[in-house]
Amino acid sequence: MRIAVIGGGISGIASAFYLRQRNCSVDLFESEEQIGGRIGSHKLLGRWVDFGGKNIGRHYRRFRDFARTCGDPDFEYFGFNTSQLINSRVIGISKEGAKSFNMLRMMSLCGLDGVLKLYPHVRAILKDREQGVLCSRYFREIAHKNDHLTLATYLKSRCVNQVIRPVTIRMNGAEPDECYPGNFGSNLALALDSYEQLKHGMHSLLHDFRTMGGPGSIRILEGHRVTSVSSDPDAGTVSIGYLHRGVPGVAAYDRVISALPALRLAQLLEQNIPEASALLRRISYYPVAVSIAKYSNEVFSKERRAMLFDQSHPLSNVGAYGINDLGLVRYTFSGRMSRSIISEDSSPEEVIDLGEKIAAPYFSINENRREGFVYRYLAEGLCAYSSRHHLLLEKIDRELEKISGFAATGDYRRGASIEACFSAAYESVDKVTGNLS
């Protein structure tokens, strides 16, 4: 079976991986000159650094299977050690030692109402990790009952400001009044996990992905932007149009999987299936700016390796790149305040200067020479889904059936984490290959 995958981010990579396991011949189309998408890498002072995909959960079963197949890379401890700025006070939050103390601290941050509402969700995920993805059975019920509310009204302000916002702003780039209870399970599952990092980074793993053996084959077509998708019922094929270095081309496949973000897929389908395009545009995306900067001396201590900032700051969080990279700093700008200040036209140097100014009172940045940096701004960087999201996806899928042999996966299906993207990709591959094992 000859299959095209549109989009070379983590969802497209996962789709190509599972298709190859089923002995399919895969063409992976990527509009940029390098696969990886939002987990893409860049060279900083001669070293590859990853913009995303740094933290790998212990419960990332599908991703870890992928990593073992690609060459079984080494992982190193990362842990969870951060601080949070709440009403000008610095509150430490850690999973490293003093577990009872930190659990009591978290309960205090939630407040009684927060504990009573969140505990059943926590229990459901701990009992069955499959419930900690977008549109799971458990959280569909939560959506039916509560998605007429946002998280900002579902929970009291104490829990919203001190616990919920740090999660939604990091994972969705969204404020609590832009997120819904039925979608929060995919975020809550991440908070309940513990993390490691790839010792040699995501760039090394993707290099191994390119060269791995297996039953099928994968051809990676970088710099190929797909411009159209249509089906030929008589031939039983799906055709895609594309541009490569300004030259148009057309190719026919037995099946096609889109692994694009929802809004990119909406643009692609606007002419052929305007109804699907309109539905896809109801899924919310928010911008994020990320910079990784190298300093001459360590910025963080091992006891405090990160900090989350409140809604009055455009900098949502700052943290060490790794437990042994305390002079390599990752700045993340997201949320409503960030949107009002930072855009795709902003000067990277000015954005990083702003991050340094905000973080300097808490870490060793002043008088610490910045040796270099890399920077990315993504207008559609983080997905925040929609109210009663599973019902919207059902409507989208009914419209997509108008293109026979076509399926869609992506960060809006099962959640934005790497593991959620692998789960959604596995499901889409099942769909287009007739549920073959």
pLDDT, tens digit, for every residue of 358-371? 999 999 999 999 99
User: What are the tens digits of pLDDT across the range 165-182?
Assistant: 999 999 999 999 999 999
- Is 285-383 a domain of CATH 3.40.109.10? no
Q: Which residues contact 38 (CB under 8 A, 6 or more apart)?
A: 9, 10, 51, 52, 53, 378, 381
Q: Residue 93's pLDDT is what?
A: 67
By the 10 Å C-beta count (0-12 exposed, 13-18 middle, 19+ buried), 342 is classed as: buried
Confidence at residue 94, expressed as pLDDT on a 0 to 100 scale: 64
pLDDT at position 437 is 43
The domain 2-38+199-283+386-432 having CATH identifier 3.10.129.10: the answer here is no
Contact 319, 307 (CB under 8 A): yes
What confidence score (pLDDT) does residue 436 get?
Answer: 47
2-38+199-283+386-432 and 285-383 in the same fold: no
What tokens appear for 125 in the block?
């995920």
Per-residue pLDDT of the chain (437 residues; tens, 9 = 90+): 899 999 999 999 999 999 999 999 999 999 999 999 988 899 999 999 999 888 899 999 999 999 999 989 999 888 766 778 777 777 776 665 555 556 677 788 888 999 999 999 999 999 999 999 999 999 999 999 999 999 999 999 999 999 999 999 999 999 999 999 999 999 999 988 888 999 999 999 999 998 887 788 999 999 999 999 999 888 889 999 999 999 999 999 999 999 999 999 999 999 999 999 999 999 999 999 999 999 999 999 888 899 999 999 999 999 999 888 999 999 999 999 999 999 999 999 999 999 999 999 999 999 999 999 999 999 999 999 999 999 999 999 999 999 999 999 999 999 999 999 999 999 999 999 985 44
Strand pairing of 224-232 and 237-244?
antiparallel
Structure tokens at 349: 């140097």
Question: Residue 433 and residue 215: Cα distance in Å, rounded?
Answer: 15
Spell 272-308 as b/e; 16+ CB within 10 A means b.
ebeebbebbeebbbbbbbbbbbbbeeebbeeebbbbb
What are the residue boundaries of the structural domains of the chain, listed by start? Answer: 2-38+199-283+386-432, 96-191, 285-383
| Prediction pTM value | 0.94
Q: What is the pLDDT of residue 109?
A: 83
User: CA-CA distance, 112 to 107, in Å (whole number)?
Assistant: 8
Distances in Å between the alpha carbon of 374 and those of 85, 307, 330, 347, 370? 26, 20, 10, 12, 12
